[in-house]
Structure formats: C-alpha cells, structure tokens
Amino acid sequence: RIQRALDADSGIADFHVRLEHQESLHPHDAVAYASKGVPGGYGAERPKAG
C-alpha cells in the first residue's frame, strides 16, 4: 500500500523505502524494501543486509 501511494503521487519522481517490523515473539525482524523502479534510480541495486 505504501508503494502504491508513493507511485500515485506525481510530485515524487523516485523513492526507496525500507520497512521493518521488529518482532517480539521471534528471533528475527520482518523487513521489506520498495522502490519506484526508475532505471538508474533509487533501488537499482538492492542494499546488502548487515
């Protein structure tokens, strides 16, 4: 939903977001990445974990 909202905003040329849900019941967090997909723009290469 966040990616769709950012895509729909004509004032945003490009974006890259990282969302993290910090788990309290599991030993790991849930992480999601989204970008507009502009060639050569943000998100052209997925960031390495760590």
Q: How many independent structural domains does the chain possess?
A: 1
| pLDDT value at residue 47 | 56
| pLDDT value at residue 46 | 57
pLDDT in tens, 1-50: 889 999 999 999 999 999 998 888 888 889 999 999 888 888 756 556 55
| pLDDT value at residue 24 | 82
Using the structure block, give the residue that is written with the tokens 């969302």. 19
How many angstroms separate the CA atoms of 18 and 32, rounded?
Answer: 6
β-bridge pairing 30-35 and 16-21: antiparallel
**What is the span of the domain harbouring residue 22?**
1-50
| pLDDT value at residue 49 | 58
| pLDDT value at residue 48 | 60
pTM, two decimal places: 0.62
Closest by Cα among 44, 50, 25 to 16: 44
